[in-house]
């Protein structure tokens, strides 16, 4: 096969404790999946069906353990927000996946940030427009190495947290997810055929807020490690 331009690099996330990488196919994200965060976004956290948006696969910024990786403050915003999330890495694809079979489709888990241009997101939301400009920009998905489910198990509880310059900003527990990971996979797979390599960002707990250049943003999920970025 002769390509008229060189193919883009394959976006990939390192696997924790290994020299291997997880090639990323798509990034799906769940909106408003913790009640307290739904309230702070001005929504009723009643258990409506989950909704989804996407980021491009090359929005990921792999962050090595123990390092602080530079992430550029994005253009066209004055309200750039952090959201710490549990990320699910799909290892076996499928459609119409049953809730009680969903864990069999998970390859591993990671902690990641769904970075957001909140001013653009709210403006688009209020006008009924798609969210891409607010959510799907370059470097909008920093992520720690993926922990194989064989090592982590399938976490249903555990602390999720984020600090900015050492100050605690977000804190919650995976048991507070409105839609559990298996329920999210089951629901998403009704709308999209999932494939190995898909990532699902499962939503953020309360306490989202702005970051500025120079800030160090650190987040973690109990049992899955943590990641740190510097906004530059």
Q: Which is nearer to Mn ion, 140 or 204 (CB)?
A: 204
Q: Which is nearer to Mn ion, 204 or 228 (CB)?
A: 204
Q: Which is nearer to Mn ion, 189 or 204 (CB)?
A: 204
Size of the site for Mn ion (CB under 5 A): 3
- Would you say how long the chain is, in residues? 232
Smallest separation (angstroms) from Mn ion to the CB of 216: 20
**CA-based R_g, the chain, Å:** 17
Q: Could you tell me which of 84, 120, 52 has the C-alpha nearest to residue 225?
A: 84
192/196 Cα distance (integer angstroms): 13
- Residue of the chain from 83, 144, 147, 160 that contacts Mn ion (CB under 5 A): 83
φ, ψ for residue 99, nearest 5 deg: -55, -45
Listed in sequence order, the DSSP H helices in the chain are 35-40, 118-126, 132-135, 149-152, 181-191
Smallest separation (angstroms) from Mn ion to the CB of 16: 22
Smallest separation (angstroms) from Mn ion to the CB of 29: 5
Smallest separation (angstroms) from Mn ion to the CB of 30: 7
Instruction: Please identify, among the stretches 5-13, 50-58, 86-94, 196-204, the one whose residues bind Mn ion according to the rule CB under 5 A.
Output: 196-204
Contact 81, 115 (CB under 8 A): yes
Please report, for residues 19, 109, 125, 127, 187, the alpha-carbon distance to residue 143 in angstroms, rounded to integers and kept in the order given.
16, 10, 26, 30, 24
Q: Does 226 bind Mn ion (CB under 5 A)?
A: no
Q: Which is nearer to Mn ion, 170 or 228 (CB)?
A: 170
Q: Does 204 bind Mn ion (CB under 5 A)?
A: yes
Smallest separation (angstroms) from Mn ion to the CB of 105: 21
| Residues between 105 and 144 that touch Mn ion (CB under 5 A) | 114
Q: Which is nearer to Mn ion, 107 or 131 (CB)?
A: 131
Instruction: Please identify, among the stretches 36-44, 81-89, 154-162, 205-213, the one whose residues bind Mn ion according to the rule CB under 5 A.
Output: 81-89
- Buried residues in 185-205 as b, exposed as e (16+ CB within 10 A): bbbbbeeeebeebbbbbbbbb
DSSP secondary structure of 78-124 = S-EEE-EEEEEEE-S-BSS--GGGGGGGEEEEEEEE--EEHHHHHHH
Smallest separation (angstroms) from Mn ion to the CB of 115: 9
Interface residue list for Mn ion (CB under 5 A): 83, 114, 204
């Amino acid at each position: 096969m002769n390509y008229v331009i060189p193919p883009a690099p394959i976006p990939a996330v390192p696997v924790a404790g290994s020299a291997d990488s997880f090639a990323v196919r798509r990034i799906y994200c769940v909106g408003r999946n913790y009640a307290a965060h739904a309230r702070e976004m001005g929504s009723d956290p009643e258990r409506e069906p989950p909704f989804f948006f996407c980021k491009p696969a090359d929005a990921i910024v792999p962050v090595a353990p123990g390092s602080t990786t530079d992430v550029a403050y994005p253009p066209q915003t004055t309200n750039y927000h952090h959201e710490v999330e549990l990320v699910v890495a799909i290892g076996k694809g499928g459609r119409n996946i049953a809730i009680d079979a969903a864990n069999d489709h998970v390859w591993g888990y990671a902690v990641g940030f769904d970075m957001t241009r909140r001013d653009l997101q709210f403006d688009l939301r209020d006008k009924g427009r798609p969210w891409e400009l607010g959510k799907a920009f370059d470097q909008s998905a920093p992520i720690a190495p993926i922990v194989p489910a064989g090592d982590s198990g399938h976490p249903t509880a555990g602390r999720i947290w984020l600090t900015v310059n050492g100050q605690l900003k977000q804190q919650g527990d995976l048991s507070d997810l409105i839609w559990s990971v298996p329920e999210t996979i089951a629901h998403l797979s009704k709308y999209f055929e999932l494939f190995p390599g898909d990532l699902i960002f499962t939503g953020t707990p309360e306490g989202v807020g702005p970051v500025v250049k120079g800030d160090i943003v650190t987040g973690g999920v109990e049992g899955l490690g943590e990641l740190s970025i510097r906004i530059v």
